[in-house]
Structure 1
């Protein structure tokens, strides 16, 4: 086959597709609810990489009869490494000033892996779910996709050489196509199998994403001979029409995925087929001489401009959003918009001053050995500096003030140390009993970790003769009889449903005098699910219980309480004034959920709701520290000390003054 048959041009609409991908990612990360699935933009980037890199390598084989591995890797380093190192260095410097020492430990570890393009493996092994609450606090979480791409770049040339064997001078498209089909099939099957059970591996690891690169490669290989239907005007017109509609359909599928998908869905799995197929369709539609429809739109100059800086923009947008939140404490759309614009400014500066000049510097290829040593040395130096940052932050965590806030973080009820809560690991009902097992009266505390935080208060209230307290909790398991997709494990939380059913049966059998239920105000349920699902839980125990109390969920801070206090302790005074460690006590969703719980409670004569928000957050403001006492141990759980102090007020609102006189409670607990 002639070399010029492989000279498939890399067109302007590719930059436009990059622009679409980066805008989707930006929308999702900035909190735009209408594009909650904007993370699919990364899938588009993977398809583009497979398309472009396969084309570059096959064209090199056609032109020279070989693949110059050193040149290829140096070009990739020249293209990607400098801007990455600059972003990590500047972000780390700012983070060392504005973040708490305890927060900096994980940031520095991730930074050390990011500059080595290993952060995807770091996050996968740490079992950090991309969609889970808390994962969005890592400044370098977004570099996982760069790790996947670099690992693809490392292996792809060797794969092509292995497939072509000794025939490098004459690339066989059919053989390459077959190899890509095999890679795509095996990788996609492994992705499907791992997504339900090991979602972190399926999401972060390159082998489970290789099928998306292979799809891009197949688009290039399929079109390498050209499909212009020359000599047949009717056929050519038909091909143009098909491509036009295919391009629009592909673009619609990409955007539709961004609209329809969200963090409450298992991903990647089969759903990743949609943005992947959409990107492949747009690429195929842009082939040939006629640029109409979606490819013509993507060639629009503003999209071209955004596409050119898409790599730098991707690098900068995430740390700017997180550091902006750390400094201002604001989730305001206006603030988020300003942060996106700031990241664009940094991206343009990075593109013009770092990425573009280095990318076009031929010194790299003229002095390969020196360039390779310098590049690897820069990466290792950045990684070593990140570990030095880790050591410095670790030393700062040992100061008395940092230790005070660190102690607040672990100021949790003893039920967790005792193993009373099995989280998602099983559906076993672990019943912790405090007080005499032969006591005449029983109180049951049941729910998720929001219920568990109130154990110190209830232990004080029921420190009475002939009373025992039974604790039945399962973290992240709401007291709503509805199936729940749990983003942290990337699948339906079946253990929760099974545990809740068994636990309710046991509570009914105990016939307790008092049941206290607590649940986080999750956004996973609709109004009918909250009211009807809660009513089903209540109906299963109301006939057997004396009194049932439903506690309003704790207000949710937009920051981590101890970390905010610790970061303020080490900040310059001018910077500390930009953010205070308090927030409004009420939000619309939390208020709605409490009203729905009240509606469900009204169906039962022995059920009441209790709202202690005014005690947790006086004057409508939630403060991380109140009267010298740390209130929250994270962003929504109270410290055990503070919860204990609210026991008298809780008792008053429960109306329990007619119960037996206080008596020394048996501190021992039994676990069955």
Structure 2
């Protein structure tokens, strides 16, 4: 194949768009990944189709090329991420990073992201150094299956490949359009296959196509390129489905049309194959692999907000690191004349075992590699305990999860019966009550929010309870009690119901962990809350009035900044959303007068 210099330009457009997106500067920049998918399908198919046509396709050679191209840099990046995580991350984040290292090494981070972070656009993902390897997972899963099609239908049988690819492409596209789960359609190969295979069909069906009217072909090419850029850089479309489909179609159109013009049209060459653009395109894989790692650790350890100046500085750092790995890792491993296959496999195998093994071990100990006094986590106290794919017994969520044991009926203890209804935030409420000075006088019971409209035992507990507290971070609207009564055919007594306020401890604990010193004043140390926290707090205040327990009133100031630590220097939350034991104890002390007034000590006392 003749080297397509304009494809370097497309790669440059794609990677710059993704980088700008992760800097928060380009809302549609994530579509650069879709451009990469189409390019990959086009180039891979261009090679293997013609090899199969001549009966020369080797599946072993194919996998060797893919290993050389992708795996060395991937393993290097996951290794660097793990080392930086050991230095800068708190245990919960380090545990999550370790999961991502293992998943990325096994080409499955797209699956892990679906399970743990379904919303790709969520703020939390900005702090995940390996979040972006989800796309590599899809490409590598594609590479695992795709070559067998050409291996089985090589030689004269190659004529069947077009029809099979068309059918598979249509099936994938229909599945993408019909899938209502946005996260599934975003992360799973079956819904992304059509983007790669459309690139492949473009390579097969238009191999020898020539545009006879040269001038009109140029206009078509420039129009396709302009529209591709416009969709990524301007908010002209709202639907993600429309954005993905159009970007896919336009990109394959540029690849097909540009084949005739990339070495003939000087204007097209100036745009898509000038030295700067080609260089960015050449190092685009390194740029893609480094940028999120750099941005995430900068946010975790050094800066709370990436300003324009920081965006420039971090982009330059990404560029320098990318140049280093392009010449130091990508090129040597990619070239058989520089590095023999045996050497490549030995290096890759060793790196895989070391990074995967180390990450898995760190995951099993919950990321607690040393003492973290700020979280009351001490390595010696861990003992032989392991996290092996644990759910409710996970070290970092067990304090919250153990409240589920209280999901049962009341007994006749003579204590004030308090029913907490909610989800994990409701379990925070229960922990505040259990840590309060009133705990010995309360019989606290919990009911899982997901069952409130279907499990009739709620009616019995609600009627038996002396007090009912709702806690689900803003889920409960004005009509909640009415809906509850309709679902279970009873009148929900509003006079004994309160709502526990929303809380929000900022974006990441990492920045605080890495910046506190012996001189830090924990009584005044604050961080900026996420925008929706104060907004939702105001809405709940208006909805529930004097039935609302306003947590932010005592923890936050008028500037939207909230306390992070207890006065003793302990984190109030391990994940910026749910309470630690220290956090629950502190809030219980802080709101003791309010809780005493609401709950009282005598179950016969009517709430005021």
State TM-score, norm by structure 1: 0.71
Offset at residue 28 of structure 1 (A): 3.0
Equivalent positions of 1:253-402 (< 5 A) are 253-255=231-233, 260=238, 272-289=244-261, 297-299=271-273, 301-334=275-308, 335-360=310-335, 362-364=337-339, 371-390=340-359, 393=362, 397=368
Q: What's the counterpart of residue 208 of structure 2? A: 225
Partners of 1:13 and 1:296 within 8 A in 2:
no
Determine the C-alpha separation between the residues in 1 that align with 2:352 and 2:236. Answer: 34
What's the secondary structure of 1:94's corresponding residue? helix
Q: Give, in whole Å, the separation in 1 of the partners of 2:542 and 2:119.
A: 35
Q: Which residue of 1 aligns with 2:500?
A: 551
How far off its partner does 1:379 sit?
A: 1.8
1:418 Cα offset (Å): 1.6
User: Residue 224 of structure 1: CA displacement?
Assistant: 0.9
Q: CA offset at residue 49 of structure 1?
A: 0.5
Q: What's the CA shift for 1:176?
A: 3.4
Q: 2:41 aligns with which of 50, 55, 60?
A: 50
1:610 aligns with 2:549: yes
Residues 450 and 518 of structure 1 are in contact (CA less than 8 Å); yes or no, is this contact kept in structure 2? yes
Asked if 1:30 is matched to 2:59, the reply is: no
- Alignment partner of 1:99 out of 73, 79, 89: 89
Taking the TM superposition and a 5 Å limit, the aligned residue runs for 1:29-178 are: 29-32=22-25, 34-35=26-27, 37-61=28-52, 65-100=55-90, 103-115=93-105, 117-120=106-109, 123=112, 129=118, 131=120, 137-164=127-154, 166-167=155-156, 172=159, 175-178=160-163
Q: CA RMSD, aligned part only?
A: 4.6
Q: Is the partner of 1:546 in helix, strand or coil? A: helix
**Matched position secondary structure for 1:584:** strand
Q: Could you tell me whether the CA contact under 8 Å between 2:127 and 2:299 is conserved in 1? A: no
Task: Confirm or deny: 8 A CA contact 1:508 1:544 kept in the other structure.
Answer: no
Report deviation, 1:135.
Answer: 5.5
For residues 524 and 127 of structure 2, the distance between their equivalents in structure 1, rounded to whole angstroms, comes to: 17
Cα deviation 1:546-574 (Å, max 9, x = unaligned): 1554433112232247x975x899xxx99
Alignment of 1:189-200 (within 5 A): 189-191=174-176, 195-196=179-180, 199=183
Tell me if the contact between 1:550 and 1:608 (Cα under 8 Å) persists in the aligned partners: yes
Separation of aligned partners in 1, 2:361 and 2:322: 29
Do 1:550 and 1:609's aligned partners in 2 also have CA atoms closer than 8 Å? Answer: yes
Q: Is the 8 A contact 2:113 2:131 kept in 1?
A: no
In the TM superposition, what is the alpha-carbon distance from 1:314 to its structure 2 partner?
0.6
Q: Deviations over 1:611-670 (max 9, x none)?
A: 23365469965234531544223222112453244335435236827955489xxxxxxx
- Aligned mate of 1:11, from 4, 26, 34: 4
1:510 corresponds to 2:451? no
SS of structure 1 residue aligned to 2:87 = helix
Report the CA distance between 1:327 and its aligned residue.
Answer: 1.7
Match of 1:453 among 416, 420, 428: 428
- How far the C-alpha of 1:347 sits from its partner, in A, is 0.9
Distance 2:398 2:148 in 1: 53
* 2:377 match: 405
> Does the C-alpha gap of structure 1 residues 226 and 419 become closer, same or farther in structure 2, counting only changes over 3 Å?
farther
Structure 1 CA distance for aligned equivalents of residues 319 and 265 of structure 2: 29
Q: Tell me, what secondary structure is at the counterpart of 1:535?
A: coil
Go from structure 1 to structure 2 and tell me whether the alpha carbon gap of 1:176 and 1:248 turns closer, same or farther (over 3 Å shift): farther
Alpha-carbon contact 2:467-2:599 (below 8 Å) kept: no
Which residue of 179, 183, 196 maps to 2:164? 179
CA contact (8 A) 1:123 1:204 kept: no
Unaligned runs of 5+ in 1: 1-6, 263-268, 365-370, 421-431, 475-495, 523-532, 664-672
Tell me if structure 2 keeps the 8 A contact 1:247–1:285.
no
The 1:539–1:224 alpha-carbon spacing in structure 2 relative to 1, beyond 3 Å, is same
The one of 567, 591, 595 equivalent to 2:534 is 591
Aligned residue pairs: how many? Answer: 572
Moved more, 286-295 or 319-328: 286-295
Structure 1 Cα separation of the partners of residues 370 and 332 of structure 2? 44
Structure 2 Cα separation of the partners of residues 638 and 373 of structure 1: 51
* Structure 1 residues 71 and 521, CA gap change in structure 2 (3 angstroms): same
C-alpha change, 1:280 and 1:499, in structure 2 (3 Å) is farther
- Deviation, structure 1 residue 122: 6.3
CA separation of 1:159 and 1:388: change in aligned 2, threshold 3 A: closer
How far is 1:211 from its partner?
A: 2.0
Residues 293 and 130 (structure 1 numbering): CA distance in 2 closer, same or farther, change over 3 Å?
farther
- Would you say the 8 A contact 2:127–2:297 is kept in 1? no
1:488 alignment partner in structure 2: none
Distance 1:99 1:338 in 2: 22
Q: After TM superposition, give the deviation of residue 414 of structure 1 in Å.
A: 6.5
CA shift digits 1:214-256 (9 cap, x unpaired): 1001112222122322xxx5xx554544444344334434546
CA distance in 2, matches of 1:126, 1:185: 27
Cα offset, 1:186, TM superposition = 3.4
Is 1:50–1:216's contact at 8 Å kept on the other side of the alignment?
yes
1:486-530 alpha-carbon deviations (Å, 9 max, x no partner) = xxxxxxxxxx6x8569899949983976543334369xxxxxxxx
Query: Which ranges of structure 2 fall in alignment gaps of 5 or more residues?
Result: 383-394, 486-490
Contact 2:406 2:446 in 1 (8 A): no
Distance, in Å, in 2 between the alignment partners of 1:581 and 1:122 is 41
- Contact 1:451–1:519 (Cα < 8 Å) also in 2: yes
Indicate if the aligned counterparts of 1:24 and 1:38 stay in contact, CA closer than 8 A.
yes
Question: In the aligned structure 1, how far is the partner of 2:141 from the partner of 2:330?
Answer: 20
Instruction: Provide TM-score, normalisation by structure 2.
Output: 0.77
2:59, 2:151 within 8 Å by CA — same for their partners in 1? no
Q: Is the 8 A contact 1:24 1:258 kept in 2?
A: no
